[in-house]
Amino acid sequence: MGSFGPSCSLGRECGSAGLKGPRLWNYGFWVGVLVLVLVCLVGGADSEVGHQRISGSAGDVLEDNPVGRLKVFIYDLPSKYNTDWLKKDPRCLTHMFAVEEYLHDFLVESPVRTLNPEDADWFYAPVYTTCDLTPNGLPLPFKSPRVMRSAISYISSHWPYWNRTEGADHFFVVPHDFAACFHYQEEKAIERGILPLLKRATLVQTFGQNHHVCLKEDSIVIPPYAPPERMQTRLTPPSTPRSIFAYFRGLFYDTGNDPEGGYYARGARAAIWENFKDNPLFDISTNHPGTYYEDMQRAIFCLCPLGWAPWSPRLVEGVIFGCIPVIIADDIVLPFADAIPWEKIGVFVAEKDVPVLDRILSTISPEDVLEKQRLLANPAMKQAMLFPRPAQPGDAFHQILNGLARKLPHDPSIFLKPGQSFLNWTEGPLGDLKPWGKDSL
């Protein structure tokens, strides 16, 4: 090493100033490498496809115990809001929307309930808005907005807790097709939007679709109610070989409401039929077999396309019976999506890719299929989709409470300052503003 001169400015060592240059650039080199590595990691994480926002894996958060993590106060509403509906029509206890009744029963007896409202983190008002049934058993949502308004005005006049936060620490169960938009037709539901008084409350609902008016950011999406006993009595031995490739039973065209096709299910179900009706890999039909549950246990994939609304009880049935759900509904938000990594469990197919569904399914590698089946076999997963009565640890009731507990502690800004107000009690269609409850149900 030669000498570069006696003095140097960038460092103390001058004797081996010749090393200054290379040493600096050594540092520069390592800095560059570090930057490169960092950028690689960050950029690499971005370029991984299919990564969604799931944080918990199917096992960590699913088995949390909500007791001790939150307290719920249940308003004592007059029976005209809840039990009178049940007396009028007990079919509410068995249809797909029965969760509103069962969650009420569960909370009343749960250890998270507190009788002291000052102590409570969350407030629950049991209003059965989906219990006004037609003779066929379908719920009519026309009175539901008024019922809900009436309940909220009752709460706000009898207890101070609603006005304290204007509902931001309250939660309601709205399991109907389009949740708090309270209509079964999507266009009308979108026009109405979420009931204005529920703007700040947390909604527990079955409907979930991204970029949709009827899904609030902080809603908790739950599975539809399916009677657990009915499914669990029909389990076949797991050694029964799975010989059906893809299985589906249900309507493809809703000739009653959509005679020309293209409207129902956004044309996806019709596309499934037209493309695969003669394909032996796809066991699809509109009939109602008596062996529906047994057939699902003999199938590898169960198709879960959207119908009039994106959610479907087939997802629950597929999970219980170990059949990998193939979800064909763009932008759908699946239940407990922050606790359950659905992409690892199910197969998501865009609606426009339905014509090549057989290619998509048959090119999944068998190891991936086995991995998904292993995840589905996890009992915590199956338990999280069910509403058993009496409630069991890890079931969907507990997942709802876990979801509520994860939102705690409340941001202090939800408490209104004096004079602050967010809700406009006169907002909404005129028909909703009519008072309800004095005369008849």
Residues numbered 252 to 311 that lie near other proteins (CB under 8 A) are: 252-253, 255, 260-263, 266-268, 270-271, 273-281, 283, 285-287, 289, 291, 295, 300
Q: How far apart are alpha carbons 387 and 206 in whole angstroms?
A: 13
* Residue 356 vs residues 133, 275, 332, 380: alpha-carbon distances, Å: 40, 9, 20, 33
| Phi/psi of residue 206, nearest 5 degrees | -90, -20
Site string for other proteins, 361-390 (x = CB under 8 A): xxxx-x--xx--x-----------------
Residue 41 interacts with other proteins (CB under 8 A): yes or no: no
Residue 358 interacts with other proteins (CB under 8 A): yes or no: yes
* Residue 94: CB minimum distance to other proteins, A: 23
Beta bridge pairs of residue 299: 244
Residue 122 interacts with other proteins (CB under 8 A): yes or no: no
Among positions 315-354, residues that touch other proteins (CB under 8 A) are 330-331, 351-354
Residue 355 interacts with other proteins (CB under 8 A): yes or no: yes
* Residue-level length of the chain: 441
* Contacting residue, 12, 53, 87, 211, with other proteins by CB under 8 A: 211
Using the contact rule CB under 8 A, the part of the chain among 2-10, 64-72, 132-140, 171-179 near other proteins is 2-10
For other proteins, the closer CB: 3 or 157 = 3
* Residue 438 vs residues 81, 85, 146, 182, 324: alpha-carbon distances, Å: 12, 15, 12, 21, 49
CA-only gyration radius of the chain, Å: 27
Residue from 149, 159, 157, 200 nearest 415 by CA = 200
- Which helix (H) or strand (E) segment is 122 a member of? strand 122-124
CA dihedral 91, 92, 98, 101 (to 10 degrees): -130
Site string for other proteins, 68-97 (x = CB under 8 A): ------------------------------
Residue 8 interacts with other proteins (CB under 8 A): yes or no: yes
Among positions 149-188, residues that touch other proteins (CB under 8 A) are 186-187
For other proteins, the closer CB: 64 or 283 = 283
Residue 359 interacts with other proteins (CB under 8 A): yes or no: yes
First-to-last C-alpha distance (Å) of the chain: 98
* Contacting residue, 13, 39, 90, 157, with other proteins by CB under 8 A: 39
* Both tokens assigned to 8: 């140097």
Residue 430 interacts with other proteins (CB under 8 A): yes or no: no
* Contacting residue, 77, 251, 416, 441, with other proteins by CB under 8 A: 251
* Residue 400: CB minimum distance to other proteins, A: 26
Q: Is 390 exposed, middle or buried (0-12, 13-18, 19+ CB in 10 A)?
A: exposed
Side by side, which strands form the sheet with 244-249?
A: 282-285, 244-249, 299-305, 324-328, 347-348
Residue 233 interacts with other proteins (CB under 8 A): yes or no: no
- Which helix (H) or strand (E) segment is 72 a member of? strand 72-74
* Residue 324: CB minimum distance to other proteins, A: 10
Residue 22 interacts with other proteins (CB under 8 A): yes or no: yes
Residue 243 interacts with other proteins (CB under 8 A): yes or no: yes
Interface size with other proteins, residues (CB under 8 A): 95
Residue 12 interacts with other proteins (CB under 8 A): yes or no: no
Residue 237 interacts with other proteins (CB under 8 A): yes or no: yes
* Residue 42: CB minimum distance to other proteins, A: 10
* Residue 245: CB minimum distance to other proteins, A: 5
Instruction: Read off the DSSP letter of residue 419.
Output: T
CA 224-126-75 angle, to 5 degrees, is: 150
Q: In this structure, are residues 149 and 167 in contact, taking their beta carbons and an 8 Å threshold?
A: no
* Residue 7: CB minimum distance to other proteins, A: 6
Alpha carbon 292 to chain centroid distance?
Answer: 25
- Which helix (H) or strand (E) segment is 326 a member of? strand 324-328
For other proteins, the closer CB: 144 or 297 = 297
For other proteins, the closer CB: 124 or 301 = 301
* Contacting residue, 77, 86, 213, 416, with other proteins by CB under 8 A: 213
Q: How far apart are alpha carbons 181 and 40 in whole angstroms?
A: 45
For other proteins, the closer CB: 89 or 353 = 353
For other proteins, the closer CB: 159 or 273 = 273
